[in-house]
Amino acid sequence: MDIVLVINAGSSSLKFEVFGIDDGDLSKLVRGQMEGIGVSPRLRATDSDGAQLIDRTYPPAEVADLQAATRLVGVWLRETQVGNLIAIGHRVVHGGPDYARPVRVDARVLANLERYVPLAPLHQPNNLAPIRAFLERRPDLPQVACFDTAFHRGHAAVADHYAIPVHFHAEGVRRYGFHGLSYEYIAGRLPEVVPEVAGKRVIVAHLGSGASLCALLDGRSVESTLGFTALDGLPMGTRCGQIDPGVVLYLLSERGLSVGQVQDLLYKDSGLKGLSGVSNDVRALLASDSPAAAFALEHFVYRIGLNVGTLVAALGGLDAFVFTAGIGENSPEMRTRIAGTMAWLGARIDPSANERRALRISTADSRIALHVIPTNEELMIARHTLDLIGGAVSRLAASNE
């Protein structure tokens, strides 16, 4: 069987999925992750039924970096998985102004993508590391970069410009938006699971360690809370979200922080972590009795409510709201709090449906339909990869959705 490997590389983890191809259909075969890279490495993987295939820890020196993790995962896959690997698809956070759709990566494309490392310092270097490793070892193997910015590239010019001299926009300083692979997947699922709202005004909330909102009109992104970098919009696990640029100037000129120190502050030490002083994990904050933890969550919900209002204005109204990603899919309490900020729009949550994570969690008399739809960025990457190398793509069987 021909197979496609999907890789989503982060700073301390390497997520991967293997998809089989049968008559143009994609089926998930393996899902796994190497986590704790350089600290407490652990490789875990399951098959399509959720059965455990491996759960093994390694000495930190054996898996000291992403390159070592990529090599070890590759060895395990070759030794245990039967199939003909025809391509690898990668999540790449920033495509800059040059890449509005998935692209096959060669040395030239890789060099271009490295220019956007300063725009996504937490993600881009790690996204590109496995691509570089496979280019060196298997230059003949097709690799496809799929961008989190691509889905938003159809925005109107008025939405993408900053109010600075226009030549900066031509140079690439513009609002890109992120989490596009997740939003693209949800936009494709809406006609299948809730066709009554698929062509209407929908806000999708991708809420995880990284968090954002996207306004969909007839399945197309028209506005997003994220902009030039992944720092904008909502507060996140460790990122600040929207902030007055004057704060950055103050930190540089008056407090004497270096550019590197400001970057670390805004990307790694802010958001829920910075506000709470407890954790960047919503689960830990919900379980904490710290007033600062409670305030961090209150701030998170408040900012979501404000940004919902902005996107409602962009859409000219709202018909449905979709929760997705780690927090959105798994936290009934956070869904309840966030729905409460939309009471002015007529949103009413059904507590019972919310607790069991039903597809629709709003009451029958709610003027706004509230839904929970799991995302699947890896499937989106596999589809794009197969499309680009000439394969026919169709959706997974319902049992794998």
Q: Which residues are known catalytic residues?
A: 148
Whole-angstrom Cα distance, residue 374 to residue 232?
Answer: 24
Whole-angstrom Cα distance, residue 240 to residue 70?
Answer: 30
Burial 145-175 (b: 16+ CB within 10 A, else e): bbbbbbbbbebeeebbeeeeeeeebeeebbb
Dihedral-angle region of residue 156 (phi above 0 means left; psi in -120 to 50 means alpha; beta otherwise): beta
Residue written as tokens 């409510």? 305
For 357, other C-beta atoms within 10 Å of its C-beta total 15
Structure tokens of 122?
Answer: 């937490």
CB proximity list for 356: less than 8 A, separation 6 or greater? none
CB proximity list for 290: less than 8 A, separation 6 or greater? 276, 277, 278
